[in-house]
Structure 1
């Protein structure tokens, strides 16, 4: 199997190469390219490839731009640090993906899926409609919720998104925390909320918390390269720690 890796982070590319070798020693990484421009040049030469691993955010743009400039005639597995709101577009269109940091078991499963697809007549690379949808999601053009309806006794209240400081899960329930300090139960899972709100405004720091930047009072360096957040209003779920695998993406989200 001959694979091309399109990845602008050298260490991430080297790690993926090593993981591929560990999964299957017969896999040959033909090249590692860091940009849209270089990927277009390489693919334009029509090299003999079986599979392409493609990071979404490259040094000079989104990898979807590659498809607009050169035919990609081999299956693609996306690698991404983006959360599920964007990945949903790939899944419904049978585009495989690996969420960073890449897990060895998930990589193995993706390779098994590739092998099954390669022995069928089903196209394994992105279709135009899928790419347009994914680009739309990643460029922030998706329509996100402007308000949430909450029940207070026998009454329904509408909470504008501007008044929401965070969302959190606690004892099998999902709650909305307002900037005023009030909190309400909502009829959504955290996964659903994550897809309903604008990722430019809210960030999923761990499985239990989705926070707004303005809700953060202080950020403290914690053990094992993790970060602990002090919020203006903290729910009963306890201290808020940024998951280790999300620290880099969280810092990038803050530093926009």
Structure 2
């Protein structure tokens, strides 16, 4: 339950509710949370929309909720149509297309499964810092103010591009893009169905504008979507060589030795 005037890192345990439809994933998430903060008190694990609604109607709401978007009997967003949930939420899911919808609610963060411990730690720290900021000046923690603060500081990533196609302009959505590449000082989009469009941007600029969970800067020439990776090969001197789909114009897309660990982590957390 939520106690007035308490911050997340108080010596008394916090209360969290973890709504998760896969028991193994739920157990792993609990283990990770406990490893990050042993004072945390997990008060319940619920696997359905119906049971979640009943729980919120009968119980005091927790300090923080970990909420899987897809539960056993439907989408968790439907919970909010039946009950007013004031607690901050960290959403979890295996699918990134729900991110925008998640952030319309009291979302502290959005984690893709399988959940990476370091990213989970960052999300919890984000919640703690924001809550502590309010606790210094107010006795009562206001979840709505937390939500407003998050909305002001939330990073907005590009979701589409307007590109030229002959004498017309068309919209290319992020979900359609396999990768970006640069050639002769120009930058091009390659879509999953192997269409090519030029855009007025640099890869450096695109890297800042695009969601890093979806796109990765493989090297100076390529910014790739995880869905574009067809095969990954070990390469000499501990490097990696990628084969993309659609095939890249450059045969050798090499991940340098210094980026291999970061790249593997990015791929494995998608």
TM-score normalised by structure 1 residue count: 0.60
1:209 aligns with 2:224: yes
Cα offset, 1:149, TM superposition: 3.3
Cα offset, 1:4, TM superposition: 0.7
Cα offset, 1:66, TM superposition: 0.9
Aligned match for 1:235, one of 249, 266, 270: 249
Structure 2 counterparts to residues 1-256 of structure 1, below 5 A: 1-47=14-60, 49-83=62-96, 86-87=99-100, 90=103, 95-100=107-112, 101-116=114-129, 117=131, 119=135, 120=138, 121=140, 123-124=142-143, 145=160, 147-149=162-164, 160=170, 166-169=178-181, 174-177=187-190, 184-187=198-201, 189-190=206-207, 192=209, 204=214, 206-207=216-217, 208-210=223-225, 230-236=244-250, 238=253, 243-246=267-270
Stretches of structure 2 lacking an aligned partner (at least 5 in a row): 1-13, 151-158, 218-222, 235-241, 256-262
Residue deviations 1:63-91 (CA, integer Å, cap 9, x gap): 2211111121322222234448835972x
Cα offset, 1:60, TM superposition: 2.7
Residue deviations 1:35-61 (CA, integer Å, cap 9, x gap): 212211221211462221112232333
**CA distance 1:145–1:183, change in 2 (3 Å):** closer
Residue deviations 1:65-121 (CA, integer Å, cap 9, x gap): 11111121322222234448835972x987311422333333333333433416255
Residue deviations 1:134-163 (CA, integer Å, cap 9, x gap): xxxxxxxxxx7584138xxxxx9656458x
Cα offset, 1:166, TM superposition: 3.4
Cα offset, 1:244, TM superposition: 2.5
**CA distance 1:123–1:175, change in 2 (3 Å):** farther
TM-score normalised by structure 2 residue count: 0.57
1:180, 1:55 → 2: CA distance? 34
1:177/1:235 contact within 8 Å kept: no
Stretches of structure 1 lacking an aligned partner (at least 5 in a row): 131-143, 151-155, 196-202, 247-256
Aligned position for 2:237: none
**CA distance 1:36–1:231, change in 2 (3 Å):** same
1:48, 1:181 → 2: CA distance? 49
| Structure 2 counterpart SS, 1:11 | helix
